[in-house]
Amino acid sequence: MLKYGFLLFLILITAAGCRQQTATPSTDLNIMLAVEPDPLIVGDATLVITVNDASGAAVNDAKIAVRGDMNHAGMMPVFAEIDSGTDGKYRVPFEWTMAGDWIVEVTVTLANGEQVVKSFDAEVNTSQNMPEMTTENGSQTMPEMTTEAES
Amino acid sequence: MAAQSKPLERPRGLFDVLQLPLIGRVLRWRWGRLVLQIPLAIIALLLVIDGFTGPQTASRNLATVTPWIHYRGLVVIALLLAGNLFCMGCPFTIPRTLAKRFSLPGRRFPRFLRNKWLAIGGLFTLFLLYEWLDLWASPLLTAWVIVFYFVASFVLEVVFTESAFCKYVCPLGTFNFIYSTASPTQIAVKNHNICQTCVGKECVNGSYSPTPVIRLDQIAGGAPIEVHYGPDGTPGCGTLLFAPQIKSNLDCTMCLDCVRACPYQNVGLMVRTPGHELIQPDAWPKRWDVSFLVIILAFMGLSNAFGMVPPVYEVERWLAETFNIGSELIVLFIIFAVANLLLPVGITLLAASLARIFTNTTRKFSLRDSVAAFAPAFVPIGLGIWIAHYGFHFLTGALTIIPVFQEFLGMAGDWQRFGAITTDMNIIGLVQGGALFGGLLWSLVIAQRTSLRLYRRDGMLGLIPWALVLIGLALVAVWIFGLPMEMRGSTLFN
C-alpha cells in the first residue's frame, strides 16, 4: 500500500511540473490597455492597447491576442486578435458578455516571435449600475496585474 | 413491553441496490468505498497542487473550476437522483483508518456539541468566507480550504471515537445530509428479527478492534458469513446510527460500513420513494437545531444566489454609507446574519405561531413540535433553489474543465472548441424554473399532508402561513434568478 502511495505522490509531483512555465521577459515592453466606451458596460467595446518598447518607440508590427476571463470559473472566455497597429496603438473589437470582474490577458507577439503577456483587471457594469470611475481621454485605463513573457 | 414488540422502521424498498450484479458486489467489497474515494482523493490532490502552483485565474485553474462548477453541480444531481454519493466517496475520510490507529480511547465528542448548532455555524461561516474572500475567484484559497478539510477530518477522527467531523462539523456533509433526505435510497435492514437477536450489533459497533475478539454467538452456533474481527475488521457506523432504527438519511454518509460489518448480510441500500421520510411523522427528531438547520439552509440558498446579482451591491453600499462601516466583512456579516439567521428564524416562528392560533392548537402542540413537523417541507424547495443556482454554473461551464486540464498537463488548452460550448440559456431557464416550481410543489404537498395530519379539519387553515412562506421563498428565488448575474468581488471596499 505504501509503495502505491509513493507512486501516486510521484505522479502528482510530476503533474505539478507539467504546466507551461513562463520565462523572464528579455524584451522590455510597455503595454497599456484602455477601453472604449467608458465607463465599461456590458456589450460591444474596443480595447485600445498601446505597445511601446523600452525607449518609448511605438511597436506597430506585433500581433496582439486578447483573452477576457470572468473572475468566476466556468464562464465562457472572450477572444480577440489583431495583426497591426498605428502609432503603437492596436484597436481590438471586444465584447463584455456579462457584468462583473474581468481579467483581460493581452499577449503581444513580436516580429522575432517573442511573446510578452500582461494581465489587467476590469470592472464591467450593467448600464443601470454604473459607479463613478476615473476616466482618461474618453477611455478608461485599466489597472495592470501581471506581466509574463514566453519565447 | 409494547414498545419492544413494535416493529422497527423499515422503508418500503423496491429492491436492494447492493444486490445488483456488479455495483452491489463492488460496494459490498471490503475496499468498496475506496473505489470511489481514491479517484476523488487523486482529484483533490490535483486541485491542491494546481491551487498552490498554477495560474491564479479562477477560470483556468483546476482548484476553482472543479469544486465550484463540477462538484456543486454534480452533487445536487446525485442527491436528487441517487443519494449521498459524495459522502460515500469523500476523500477527506480516507485517513480515517489511519486515524483509528491513533485514536484516543473512549473519548466522545463533547455532549453539548452533539447537535446541529455547530453545523449551522459551519455553514454560516463557510458562506460568509465564500463571499468575503471571494473563494470562487481564488485557486489558492480554495486549495487551502481543501487542505483544511483533510486536516480537520483527520484530527477529529484521532481525538474522538465517532466520526465527529462528518456528523457535527463538515458543512459539505451537512448539506448532503439534509438534501439526501429527498433521495431515492436509504440504508435499511432486511429482517428485523435478525437484528433483535444479534449479539454483536456490528453495524454500529463494528468488527474492528485493536485486539482479537471472541464473539459469544459464534461459540454457540457460528456466524453465517465470515467477518474479520480484530485490527482487520470493519469499523461500525461512524455517525453512530443503528441500522434497524434508521428512519432517515440524516447523518448517514452512505459509507456502507454497516453493510460490511453485519455478519448476517442483513443491511441493504434500499430504493425507496424519493423523499419518503419527509412525510413520515417520526422520521426526524423534534429538535430546534435540526429544524432550523433545514430551514436556514433553504434561506442560505437564496442569500448565496443573491450574492451574484446587482442588488447585493446596492445593499452593501447602503449599509456601508448608512452605518459608516468601512469593513466588507462586517457588512457581509450583517447581510448574512439577517438573511440566513434572523429572517428564517423569525419567519418560521411567526408561521408556526399563526398556524397554532388559526387552528386553536396552542396548547396541543408546542412551538418546537410545530416547527419540527413542518421543517421537512423546506427540503424540496431548498434543493430546488440550490439546483437552480448550481445547475446554472454547471450547465454553462461543464466543458471548460477540458481546456483547463489540458493546460494543467502542459498542453495548449482548446478554449475555442470547448470553452465556447455552453447550454442554451433557454434550456437553463427551463431547468431552473423546473427545479423551483417542482421544489415548491413538492414542498406544498408535504406541508399540506403535515397540516392535515396535525390539524385535521383545520388543516387548510394551518397550512396557510407555511404555504405563504414556501411560496415567498420560491418567488424571491424566481426574482433573483431572473436578474442579470454579475461575477465580482466586492470592489466597494477596495
Of residues B207 and B271, more confidence is placed in B271
Of B222, B243, B271, which residue sits at a domain end?
B271
Is residue A3 less than 8 Å (CB to CB) from chain B? no
B4 within a domain of the structure (yes/no): no
B8 within a domain of the structure (yes/no): no
- β-pairing, A144-150 vs B267-271, is unpaired
pLDDT of residue B415: 85
> What ipTM was assigned to the predicted interfaces of this complex?
0.76
Is residue A43 less than 8 Å (CB to CB) from chain B? no
Q: What angle do CA B181, B187, B192 make, to 5 degrees?
A: 125
Count other C-beta atoms under 10 Å from residue B9's C-beta.
Answer: 18
Residues B228 and B285 in one domain: no
Residues B264 and B381 in one domain: no
Residues B334 and B473 in one domain: yes
Cis peptide before A131 (omega within 30 of 0): no
Helix (H), strand (E) at residue B315: helix B311-322
Q: What angle do CA A117, A122, A125 make, to 5 degrees?
A: 155
A72 CB neighbours in chain B (<8 A) are 58-59, 68, 136-137, 393, 487
Is residue A73 less than 8 Å (CB to CB) from chain B? yes
- Structure confidence at residue A6 as a pLDDT band (50, 70, 90): low
B9 within a domain of the structure (yes/no): no
Chain CA centroid to CA B91, Å: 15
Helix (H), strand (E) at residue B116: none
Residues B264 and B329 in one domain: no
Rounded CA-CA distance B400/B443 in Å is 34
pLDDT of residue B213: 59
Of A71, A79, A98, the CB nearest to B489: A71
* Residue A69 belongs to domain spanning: 29-128+136-150
B408 CB neighbours in chain A (<8 A) are 15, 18-19
Mutation target among B59, B65, B392, B404 for the A interface, most CBs of A within 10 A: B59
Residues B259 and B363 in one domain: no
Cell numbers standing for residue A139: 477611455
pLDDT > 70 fraction of chain B, expressed in percent and rounded: 87
Residues B266 and B295 in one domain: no
CB-CB under 8 Å, B50 with A12:
no
A2 within a domain of the structure (yes/no): no
Model confidence pLDDT, tens digit, residues B59-104: 999 999 999 999 999 999 999 999 999 999 999 888 766 666 666 6
Of B271, B301, B331, which residue sits at a domain end?
B271
A100 CB neighbours in chain B (<8 A) are 485-488
Q: What is the CATH number of the domain that holds A48?
A: 2.60.40.1940
A105 CB neighbours in chain B (<8 A) are 57
Of B393, B409, B484, the CB nearest to A126: B484
- The answer to whether B326 and B320 have CB atoms below 8 angstroms apart is yes
A118 within a domain of the structure (yes/no): yes
Cell numbers standing for residue B342: 434572523
Residues B231 and B363 in one domain: no
Rounded CA-CA distance A127/A135 in Å is 17
B44 Cβ neighbours under 8 A, 6+ residues apart: B91, B92, B146, B150
Instruction: Output B152-159 pairs: Cβ under 8 A, ≥24 positions apart.
Output: B153/B92, B153/B93, B153/B95, B153/B96, B154/B95, B154/B98, B154/B99, B157/B93, B157/B95, B157/B96, B157/B99, B157/B100, B157/B103, B158/B99, B158/B102, B158/B103, B158/B104, B159/B103, B159/B104, B159/B107
B5 within a domain of the structure (yes/no): no
Distance (Å) from the C-alpha of residue A87 to the closest C-alpha of chain B?
30
How many domains does chain B contain in total?
2
Rounded CA-CA distance B67/B74 in Å is 10
In this complex, how many residue pairs, one in chain A and one in chain B, have their CB atoms less than 8 Å apart? 116
Model confidence pLDDT, tens digit, residues B466-483: 999 999 999 999 999 998
- Among A104-113, B346-355, B391-400, B480-489, which range has the highest average pLDDT? B346-355
A88 within a domain of the structure (yes/no): yes
Q: At what angle do helices B343-358 and B288-306 cross, to 10 degrees?
A: 130
A71 within a domain of the structure (yes/no): yes
Cell numbers standing for residue B274: 424519493
Mutation target among A66, A72, A148, A150 for the B interface, most CBs of B within 10 A: A72
Q: How far is CA B61 from CA A150, B46, B124, B130, in A?
A: 19, 10, 26, 17
How many domains does chain A contain in total?
1
A20 within a domain of the structure (yes/no): no
Distance (Å) from the C-alpha of residue A61 to the closest C-alpha of chain B?
25
Helix (H), strand (E) at residue B344: helix B343-358
Chain B residues within 8 Å of chain A (Cβ atoms): 42, 45-46, 49-50, 53-55, 57-61, 64-65, 68-69, 134, 136-137, 310, 313-314, 393-394, 396-398, 400, 407-410, 415-416, 419-420, 422, 484-489, 491
CB-CB under 8 Å, B68 with A74:
yes
Q: What does the mean pLDDT of chain B come to?
A: 88
Residues B107 and B134 in one domain: yes
- Structure confidence at residue A1 as a pLDDT band (50, 70, 90): low
B2 within a domain of the structure (yes/no): no
Residues B172 and B25 in one domain: yes
Rounded CA-CA distance B168/B177 in Å is 11
* Residue B142 belongs to domain spanning: 14-271
CB-CB under 8 Å, A15 with B415:
no
Residues B428 and B485 in one domain: yes
A143 within a domain of the structure (yes/no): yes
Residues B292 and B441 in one domain: yes
Of B243, B271, B299, which residue sits at a domain end?
B271
Task: Enter the pTM of the model.
Answer: 0.87
- Specify whether the backbone of B13 is left (phi greater than 0), alpha (psi in -120 to 50) or beta: beta
Residues B285 and B266 in one domain: no
